């Protein structure tokens, strides 16, 4: 058996695959954060709560309306997108032009309120959500047993990341978004409705978080705290990738997933810390992040 640093190679293949799957999640969530920060200059601490709401909406659609997993993939992000738009219009917009710290505090407060309300309503042990029939079961890849659902998650997340990147980098809408980030008054002078664009961007970021929530519902415990644990890691991903950098978030998300996966084999106790160790090193060497532009 081929061994690498005392671990069988075959075990490492499996862990690399799992790392890639987690990386897909990190990429998807940090992407939403990056889009929101890039355009609104808001550090969206409510992202984890929106992710959780996405999972709960998925559960609610099934439990109360009998709507299954596949329609939820579209419906849940839509619902949360609308909620995001309302949040931006009624709350976040009032802080435009202020120090980003205010936005951070506001969204953090929103997250606490949302999570508190959900805990009050649904308790702390969560609600069950089963894997959709078509994706249940697992395939034996020879080096590991890969659940079909995980394979689907990695594909769905990758496709979504690619789509968002294409929209922002390759379309006219994306060009306008990027232009508004650089100089909003000028873009507005050309007749573009910048406030509406800002609202829609926040809504899109929220919808991305909810999409992540739908993907997570069958794998993780759907409970009001599910976003809290994840959001810290995702912020680290955004900081390492460079605040506001779309491509940076995607590449860093996948990369860190793999690093974390390998740590789980060699030193499992450190697997929650390794991402932050990387963050410290990156911040020391490249303060703007791997893909960020120095201010």
Chain contacts with another protein (rule: CB under 8 A): 11, 14-15, 18, 21-22, 116, 119-120, 123-131, 137-138, 144-145, 147, 149-150, 218-221, 223, 225-226, 229-230, 232-233, 261, 264-265, 268-273
Q: Can you tell me the distance from the alpha carbon of 114 to that of 37, in angstroms, rounded to the nearest whole number?
A: 21
Alpha-carbon separation of residue 148 from 55, 154, 202, 222 (angstroms): 19, 10, 32, 20
CB neighbours of residue 153 within 10 Å:
22
Q: 16, 259 in Cβ contact below 8 A?
A: no
- Comparing CB distances to another protein, the nearer of 22 and 88 is 22
Q: State the pairing for strand pair 138-140/145-147.
A: antiparallel
Tokens 């596949």, located at residue: 70
- Comparing CB distances to another protein, the nearer of 223 and 245 is 223
Shortest separation between residue 229's beta carbon and another protein, angstroms: 5
- Comparing CB distances to another protein, the nearer of 194 and 230 is 230
- Comparing CB distances to another protein, the nearer of 157 and 180 is 157
Shortest separation between residue 167's beta carbon and another protein, angstroms: 28
What tokens were used for 96? Answer: 């435009």
Q: Can you tell me the distance from the alpha carbon of 39 to that of 60, in angstroms, rounded to the nearest whole number?
A: 32
- Comparing CB distances to another protein, the nearer of 69 and 129 is 129
Shortest separation between residue 139's beta carbon and another protein, angstroms: 10
Shortest separation between residue 53's beta carbon and another protein, angstroms: 17
- Comparing CB distances to another protein, the nearer of 67 and 112 is 112
Shortest separation between residue 123's beta carbon and another protein, angstroms: 5
Residue 26: is it exposed, middle or buried by C-beta count within 10 angstroms (0-12/13-18/19+)?
Answer: buried
Shortest separation between residue 150's beta carbon and another protein, angstroms: 7
290: closest CA among 243, 220, 254? 243
The packing angle between helices 226-241 and 100-122, to 10°, is 160
């Amino acid at each position: 058996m081929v061994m690498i640093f005392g671990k069988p190679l075959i075990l490492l293949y499996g862990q690399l695959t799992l790392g890639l799957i987690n990386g897909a999640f990190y990429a998807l969530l940090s992407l939403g954060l990056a889009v929101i920060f890039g355009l609104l200059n808001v550090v969206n601490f409510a992202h984890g709560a929106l992710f959780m709401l996405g999972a709960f909406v998925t559960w609610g659609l099934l439990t109360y309306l009998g709507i299954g997993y596949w329609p939820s993939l579209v419906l849940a992000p839509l619902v949360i997108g609308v909620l995001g738009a309302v949040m931006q219009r009624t709350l976040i917009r009032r802080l435009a032009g202020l120090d980003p710290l205010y936005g951070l505090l506001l969204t953090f407060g929103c997250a606490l309120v949302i999570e508190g309300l959900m805990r009050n309503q649904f308790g702390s042990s969560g609600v069950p959500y089963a894997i959709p029939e078509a994706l249940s079961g697992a395939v034996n890849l020879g080096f590991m047993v890969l659940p079909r659902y995980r394979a689907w998650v990695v594909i769905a997340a990758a496709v979504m990341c690619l789509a968002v990147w294409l929209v922002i980098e390759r379309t006219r809408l994306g060009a306008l978004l990027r232009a508004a980030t650089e100089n909003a008054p000028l873009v507005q002078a050309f007749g573009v409705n910048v406030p509406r664009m800002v609202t829609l961007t926040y809504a899109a970021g929220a919808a991305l978080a909810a999409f992540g929530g739908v993907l997570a519902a069958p794998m993780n415990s759907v409970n009001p705290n599910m976003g809290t644990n994840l959001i810290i890691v995702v912020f680290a991903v955004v900081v390492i990738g460079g605040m506001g950098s779309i491509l940076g978030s995607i590449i860093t998300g996948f990369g860190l997933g793999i690093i974390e996966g390998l740590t789980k084999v060699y030193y499992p106790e450190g697997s929650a810390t390794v991402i932050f160790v990387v963050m410290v090193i990156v911040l020391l060497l490249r303060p703007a992040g791997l893909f960020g532009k120095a201010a």
